[in-house]
Amino acid sequence: MKKQTKAIRIQTSRTPQMEHSTPLFLTSSFVFDDAETMRAAFADESDDNIYSRFSNPSVQELVDKLAALEGAEAGYATASGMSAVFGSFMALLKQGDRLLACNSIFGSTHTVIAKYLPKYGIEHGYLSASATEAEWEAAITPNTKMIYIETPTNPGLEILDLEMIGRLAKKHGIIFNVDNCFATPVNQRPIEYGADIVVHSATKWLDGQGRVLGGVILGRKDLIHEIYLFCRSTGPALSPFNAWVLSKSIETLDVRMERHASNALYLAQQLENHTAIAALRYPFLPSHPQYSIAIKQMQNGGGIICFELKGGLEAGRNFLNKLNLLSLTANLGDTRSIASHPASTTHAKLSEEERKAVNITPGLIRISVGLEHRDDILADILQAL
Ligand SMILES: *Cc1c(COP(=O)(O)O)cnc(C)c1O
């Protein structure tokens, strides 16, 4: 079956109620017929569910769908994207190891790497999103155990070359871990380019309707087993209810992402030469600096566009205040279009210099393009500009 079909048809086995749509297994634990079955489950001699911190059918259904989409051998679902990121670090890195990352990463991921990993003796190094193959190779030290990147990056939409970094990771025997939140597995599959681990915030496009938090870690069976053992003891398990909501969402992921991307491409084309905009970035516009990498590794340009307003910080704040339809909110990847101004909100705590280092300019606006009619989204942005 094609991956789109698997994302719809993978389902927990039908119960005697003969339900068509997937049931919700909202239960903390599972019962056993007798002492021997229970003993065997606890001895890992069977795959029987024991307790929902370890496994749960609703959660497993979501993992199986996402593993099919990413082409992963196994997975574990977590309560949020950040617990997926943290779990993938803590289970696979130890004191003295070094994590090499791109510096354009999600804010909380940077906090984990720069503030918390050092408490456990785990070192880190950062490279810019535009680092060359030679710069990546030069940054690899004997204790570099993991490479971690996001592509496209948030909020600057820089594109990193998955094939190039995957090749280097393989050559040096390093675990390659990719946060694939922005593209989603229907648009980009890092495992095909050599990633060992893929992490997701399911809160964003995977839910796609701004309802629940969730995360997932997918990848090589041996690595996922280590992550599973870490998570089943430390407890970042995904709620079965959230898993059930997310699993229903995955049934529509492919069609939703197609529309998000076609709306985004249309807006990008219409806005690119607007007189109030100094520069606009969208991965599938030929003007994007890494356009050739984007079209190599992505199916479409995704649902995010960003642009720099002439007039800097004040222009950014004014733009947000003038919007009528677009929502001002911290999330992205929703049916409803969202505008954000990183310099005055998500990245306001950074110094001007720090923001510059990760390409966050004062007038940068990020639009998460929703599923409303493209003409209504465009009209609202144009009147605000
Ligand atoms: C939101 C986000 C995360 C964190 O996910 P949560 O579900 O909010 O914990 C991680 N990476 C990226 C790229 C994100 O956008």
Residue 181 CB–ligand 1 contact under 6 Å: yes
pLDDT (average), residues 218-240: 98
Is the minimum distance from the CB of 180 to ligand 1 under 6 angstroms? no
Residues 178 and 35 in one domain: yes
User: Do 294 and 304 touch, CB atoms closer than 8 A?
Assistant: no
Higher pLDDT, 357 or 312: 312
Final residue before a domain boundary, out of 208, 226, 250: 250
Taking the C-alpha atoms of residue 299 and residue 12, their distance in angstroms, rounded to an integer, is 30
Q: Whose CA is nearest to atom 11 of ligand 1?
A: 106
Last residue of a domain, one of 250, 273, 306: 250
Average pLDDT, the chain: 96
Residue 20's pLDDT band (cuts 50, 70, 90): very high
Q: In the prediction, which pLDDT does 235 show?
A: 97
pLDDT of residue 139: 98
Task: Select from 83, 106, 188, 206 the residue to mutate for testing ligand 1; criterion: most ligand atoms less than 8 Å from CB.
Answer: 106
Q: Is the CB of 81 under 6 A from ligand 1?
A: yes
What pLDDT score does 301 carry? 97
Does residue 155 register a pLDDT over 90? no
Q: Of 145, 146, 174, 147, nearest to 160 (Cα)?
A: 147
Q: Which two tokens stand for residue 258?
A: 């197609």
pLDDT at 349: 79
Residues 233, 299, single domain; the answer is: no
Number of domains composing the chain: 2
> Mean pLDDT over residues 34-60, rounded?
96
Q: Give the H/E segment covering residue 293.
A: helix 291-297
> Does one domain contain both 40 and 111?
yes
Pocket-testing residue among 177, 204, 206, ligand 1, by greatest number of atoms within 8 A of Cβ? 204
Q: Please work out whether the CB of residue 204 comes within 6 Å of at least one atom of ligand 1.
A: yes
Please identify, by atom number, the ligand 1 atom nearest to the C-alpha of residue 182: 13
Q: What confidence tier does 95 reach under pLDDT thresholds 50, 70, 90? A: very high
The model's pLDDT over 173-225, given as tens digits with 9 standing for 90+, comes to 999 999 999 999 999 999 999 999 999 999 999 999 999 999 999 999 999 99
Shared-domain flag, residues 221 and 320: no
Residue 355 Cα to ligand 1 midpoint, Å, equals: 19
Range of the domain at 75: 3-250
The answer to whether the CB of 215 is under 6 A from ligand 1 is yes
User: With bands split at pLDDT 50, 70 and 90, how would you rate the model's confidence at 356?
Assistant: confident
Q: How far, in Å, is the centroid of ligand 1 from the Cα of 170?
A: 26
Report the CATH number that the domain containing residue 371 is assigned in CATH.
Answer: 3.90.1150.10
pLDDT band at 360 (very low <50, low <70, confident <90, very high): confident
| Residue 350 banded pLDDT, cuts 50, 70, 90 | confident
Do 41 and 95 lie in one domain? The reply is: yes
Regarding beta strands 215-219 and 197-201, do their DSSP bridges make them parallel or antiparallel, or are they unpaired? Answer: antiparallel
- Please report the atom of ligand 1 found closest to the CA of residue 203: 7
Which candidate, 313, 319, 321, 346, places its Cα nearest to that of 332?
A: 346
Closest CA to 240 of 68, 79, 36, 17: 79
CA dist., res. 264 & res. 319, Å (int): 19
pLDDT of 359: 79
Residue 57 confidence (pLDDT): 98
Boundary (domain end) residue, out of 186, 221, 250: 250
Tell whether 230 and 81 lie within a shared domain: yes
Please report which confidence band the pLDDT of residue 346 belongs to, taking 50, 70 and 90 as the band edges.
confident
Q: Which residue has the least CA distance to atom 1 on ligand 1?
A: 201
**Overall average pLDDT of the 66-90 stretch:** 98
> What is the atom index within ligand 1 of the atom nearest the CA of 181?
13
Let me know: does 109 contact 224? Beta carbons within 8 Å. no
Asked whether residue 67 falls in the same domain as residue 208, the answer is: yes
Predicted confidence at residue 58, as pLDDT, reads 98
- What's the pLDDT score for residue 30? 98
H/E segment holding residue 134: helix 133-139
Check pocket membership of 179 for ligand 1, CB cut-off 6 A: yes
Asked if residue 167 and residue 66 are part of one domain, the reply reads: yes
Q: Tell whether 20 and 130 lie within a shared domain.
A: yes
Nearest CA to ligand 1 atom 7: 81
Average pLDDT score over residue span 134-146: 98
For the cut 90, the answer to whether the pLDDT of residue 21 exceeds it is: yes
The rounded distance, in Å, linking the Cα atoms of 268 and 339 is 14
Distance, CA 106 to ligand 1 centroid (Å)?
7
Domain shared by 245 and 263, yes or no: no
Tell me the mean pLDDT in the region 136-151: 98
Query: Can you spell out the DSSP letters for 341-382?
Result: -GGGTTTTTS-HHHHHHTT--TTEEEEE--SS-HHHHHHHHH
Residue 354 has pLDDT above 90, yes or no: no
pLDDT for the residue 234: 98
Residue 80 CB less than 6 A away from ligand 1: yes
- Residue 178 is part of a domain; what is its CATH number? 3.40.640.10
Instruction: Give the mean pLDDT of 277-306.
Output: 97
How far apart are the CA of 373 and the centre of ligand 1, in A?
27
Give the distance (Å) from ligand 1 centre to CA of residue 199.
Answer: 9
262 and 207 within one domain: no
Ligand 1 mean position, distance from CA 31 (Å): 35
Distance 237 CA to ligand 1 centre (A): 16
Structure pTM? 0.96
Would you say residue 358 has pLDDT above 80? no
* One domain for residues 165 and 57: yes
Probe target for ligand 1 pocket from 181, 182, 340, 366, with the most ligand atoms within 8 Å of CB: 181
- The pLDDT, as a whole number, for residue 353 is 85
Query: What percent of the chain clears pLDDT 90, i.e. is strictly above it?
Result: 93
Q: Check if 200 has its Cβ closer than 6 Å to any atom of ligand 1.
A: no
Task: Output the pLDDT for position 352.
Answer: 84
pLDDT at 163 over 90: yes
